[in-house]
Structure 1
């Protein structure tokens, strides 16, 4: 397991590379050009600027999250071919700086949805929260005002230029079914995966967050069956999944350790985080500790260890603790604690395996 840490870039993140360097076992940053609109080819000078910063701190740039998909591709419009060509050229450029994995998603309109960015927990910390019943009756524009109301931090998937076209986007997706969206994904993958194979890069689709329909929009990465169907669209090691335990874990029916075992070899990137799901379907993001949430984090890490996982993993969203002022979900302290919890479980697995070998010999 190769540990990495998501970083939003110089001047766009409260966490510094020098601080990340002090977290044991972190060897790379998960990055992106957040100021480049979806669909545009990434400029080489901006890519190289990230490369220089990473090199200066001894980090690799193996994982990009995300090279976002233009909505014309998701909608299957004739103009999608232009944006797919831009995507191919971006892949070629990323290969020159050592990128091995590209995380992306195929969620219409919203990359993720929460109803509260700073829900207070019993211990006084705050965390991202989803009130399921509230979202059913909420006007999407009310949600936009809530999520995008803090101009200090850009939120991935909630970029102003995208939100400014929200009414048009909802109208465009009105008649798009899950079958349509899956077909449009197949068209994209059939063209992109051969390019990724050529450059030894793995594409890794992120699950829907949360893993059920929102505002009547189609969702196609919700569970085991959806992931299997996507991997079968183009049967290649370069067509993989970013297995996100928090996104999938918002539905307690998803058996994530079983998914780790089933899709071993097709998971180049793991997001590992915990959520506590309430009986009414609400959920809040907790510490990574298994007992604090509904997701079997220990079982997930053990499944990765048992299957010989050698891909990239990062602690996903963390709580906001110790009065840290940061981008929602992306502070330093709780994610660093999360890494140490993940390493603790991994090290225990390593020790157990060694003890077993010694007993056999």
Structure 2
């Protein structure tokens, strides 16, 4: 497994010179964040990002993410041009030597939390989600933002998009996903790119919007319906593991050979459809991190893996979930498990 780290570019408070000091750190997971969803990523800009990383002794090994335009998710006739643009972006990424692309198919909103600084017993703080609080959020008041979101539209456009999704069922959203994959996967095959869909986070419907990458059955359907080694999964333990009904080891088994990227993090279940992110340790969260990594090794996964959202510890301030210190601890913890299971 290739230990990797999410980096948000030159404006990130976490610097590449610090990331490279984490033991066994090899890869950087990043993206070009100012290109609106649906537009082609310019080859020169991709190379500029790649070179800024390689100049610090690291490698751009995963793009996370190339956003999918809402018209594709909604199945509008305008999706054809956005799909063509997506194909060209894949060609440009391949030309630049990037071969793994993470993406998601969550309508409108990316990962969602209700508290970005929820205090833990040890005095640190982390991201949390409480279902009852979500039900009270006004998603159209213009105040609803989170660090992981692609905010490519303003409140007035958000209202129209939310209205459009009222006529989109889970089955229709799944059909639109398959339609997209049937058209982009042949290009991914030609370019030797591995597309890795990220599970919905949390893995259930929110704000009245459908979500379909939520469980083993749906993941199996997506992988089988477009049966190509280029059509794969980003296995995210924290996203799928937020629902206690998801058996993570069974999902790894079901997706073996098609897991192209791993997000490793732990969560603590705190109630019905409620959880708080913890340290990566099995002693702090509800997920069996040692068993998860052992299972990944068992099915032959040897691709990029990164510590996912971390706590804010030691008075660090920065992007919620994406500080340096706890993610560095997480990487070291994961490396220790990996070293042990490889013996």
Instruction: Bin the TM-score by the shorter chain.
Output: over 0.9
Q: Does 2:248 match 1:227?
A: no
Contact 1:181 1:218 in 2 (8 A): yes
Higher helix share: 1
Q: Does 2:290 match 1:292?
A: no
Determine which of 153, 161, 169 is the counterpart of 2:153.
161
Aligned pairs for 1:187-336 within 5 A: 187-336=179-328
- Residue 114 (structure 2) aligns with: 115
- Residue 20 (structure 1) aligns with: 19
Determine which of 151, 154, 173 is the counterpart of 1:181.
173
**Partner Cα separation in structure 1 for residue 150 and residue 92 of structure 2:** 25
Contact 1:117 1:147 in 2 (8 A): no
**Partner Cα separation in structure 1 for residue 215 and residue 18 of structure 2:** 36
Q: TM-score, normalised by structure 2?
A: 0.97
**Partner Cα separation in structure 2 for residue 179 and residue 186 of structure 1:** 11
CA distance 1:162–1:188, change in 2 (3 Å)? farther
- Say which SS state the counterpart of residue 189 (structure 1) adopts: helix
- Residue 152 (structure 1) aligns with: none
- Say which SS state the counterpart of residue 145 (structure 1) adopts: coil
Contact 2:125 2:311 in 1 (8 A): yes
Contact 2:257 2:300 in 1 (8 A): no
Please report how far the alpha carbon of residue 263 of structure 1 lies from its aligned counterpart in structure 2 after TM superposition.
Answer: 1.2
Q: Does 2:60 match 1:61?
A: yes
Contact 1:119 1:127 in 2 (8 A): yes
- Residue 97 (structure 2) aligns with: 98
- Residue 10 (structure 1) aligns with: 10
**Partner Cα separation in structure 1 for residue 298 and residue 38 of structure 2:** 38
**Partner Cα separation in structure 1 for residue 235 and residue 4 of structure 2:** 15
Q: TM-score, normalised by structure 1?
A: 0.92
- Say which SS state the counterpart of residue 225 (structure 1) adopts: helix
Q: 1:82-124 CA distances to partner (integer Å, 9 max, x unpaired)? A: 0011111110110122111110000001011111111111111
**Partner Cα separation in structure 1 for residue 278 and residue 161 of structure 2:** 32
Please report how far the alpha carbon of residue 348 of structure 1 lies from its aligned counterpart in structure 2 after TM superposition.
Answer: 1.3
Contact 1:127 1:285 in 2 (8 A): yes
**Partner Cα separation in structure 2 for residue 321 and residue 191 of structure 1:** 44
Please report how far the alpha carbon of residue 146 of structure 1 lies from its aligned counterpart in structure 2 after TM superposition.
Answer: 4.8
CA distance 1:324–1:228, change in 2 (3 Å)? same
**Partner Cα separation in structure 2 for residue 216 and residue 285 of structure 1:** 24
Contact 2:27 2:304 in 1 (8 A): no
Please report how far the alpha carbon of residue 162 of structure 1 lies from its aligned counterpart in structure 2 after TM superposition.
Answer: 5.3
Please report how far the alpha carbon of residue 137 of structure 1 lies from its aligned counterpart in structure 2 after TM superposition.
Answer: 3.0
- Say which SS state the counterpart of residue 290 (structure 1) adopts: coil
Contact 1:73 1:184 in 2 (8 A): yes
**Partner Cα separation in structure 2 for residue 326 and residue 68 of structure 1:** 24
